[in-house]
Amino acid sequence: MWFEQVMFFVAAVLALAGALGVVRLRNPFYSVLALVAHLVALATLFLLLRAQFLAAAQVVVYAGAVMVLYVFVVAYIGGQEEPMRGEGGLIGSFGPLFAAALGIELCIAILGTGLDAVDSRGPDVGAGFGSPAQVGALLLQKFLVPFEAASYLLLVAAVGAVVLARRRRGLEESEARSPVGEAG
């Protein structure tokens, strides 16, 4: 029991630290790394919630593939350090305030909710809860249509990315670009 709570707090702190790092670090490359840390922390939290498969997917797919993609792009574009000053004027000052207000509202909603189950740890579930078998069965039985739709979406995104990034004739292109950028 205590192990769980300790893990929770560690993971929560790491997640928050990662999130703050993403937002506050100047160099975009560092922001990416902060997000990776955040994702790993979240994977830990998923494990605590008995979502083994999701945790694995998070680490492998999200942190492993998507963030790597991010790293490539940041390397290509070059993460210039943004200046501290001139940080978006009014919105830059008041934006966080509104966000904080929203956060407070959400907390009030969560903590004052009439849903009693929120205050518990949830029902006792069997060993197979959150396993790949269960998730896979659900994907292929109950949630088949969203599954197929998601796969189509992936196809569309892939094609779209290729179209966006391809070289067009007649437009001025620098010959010194590395082939890395062409893949998009």
Q: For residues 16-55, which are near other proteins according to CB under 8 A? A: 16, 19-20, 22-23, 28, 31-32, 35, 38-39, 42, 45-46, 48-51, 53-54
Interaction between residue 59 and other proteins (CB under 8 A): no
**Interface residues for other proteins in 129-158 (CB under 8 A)?**
129-130, 134-135, 138-139, 142-143, 146-147, 150, 153-154, 156-158
Q: Which of 4, 10, 64, 68 binds other proteins (CB under 8 A)?
A: 4
Smallest gap, in angstroms, from Cβ of residue 105 to other proteins?
5
The angle at the Cα of 35, spanning 29 to 37, to the nearest 5 degrees, equals 110
**Interface residues for other proteins in 62-121 (CB under 8 A)?**
62, 65-66, 69-70, 73-74, 76-77, 79-80, 82, 87-88, 91-92, 94-96, 98-103, 105-112, 117-121
By C-beta, is 169 or 173 nearer to other proteins?
Answer: 173
What contacts 45, CB < 8 A, 6 or more positions away?
Answer: 8, 11, 12, 15
The angle at the Cα of 16, spanning 13 to 19, to the nearest 5 degrees, equals 150
Smallest gap, in angstroms, from Cβ of residue 49 to other proteins?
5
The footprint of other proteins on this chain (CB under 8 A) covers a number of residues equal to 94
**Interface residues for other proteins in 159-178 (CB under 8 A)?**
160-161, 164-165, 171, 173, 177
Q: Which residue has the tokens 């009439």?
A: 114
Smallest gap, in angstroms, from Cβ of residue 25 to other proteins?
9
Helical residues (DSSP H) of the chain, grouped into ranges: 2-24, 28-48, 52-57, 67-77, 89-111, 132-140, 144-165, 179-182
Q: Give the integer Cα–Cα distance in Å for 61 and 69.
A: 11
Q: At what angle do helices 2-24 and 28-48 cross, to 10 degrees?
A: 160
Q: Give the integer Cα–Cα distance in Å for 76 and 34.
A: 19
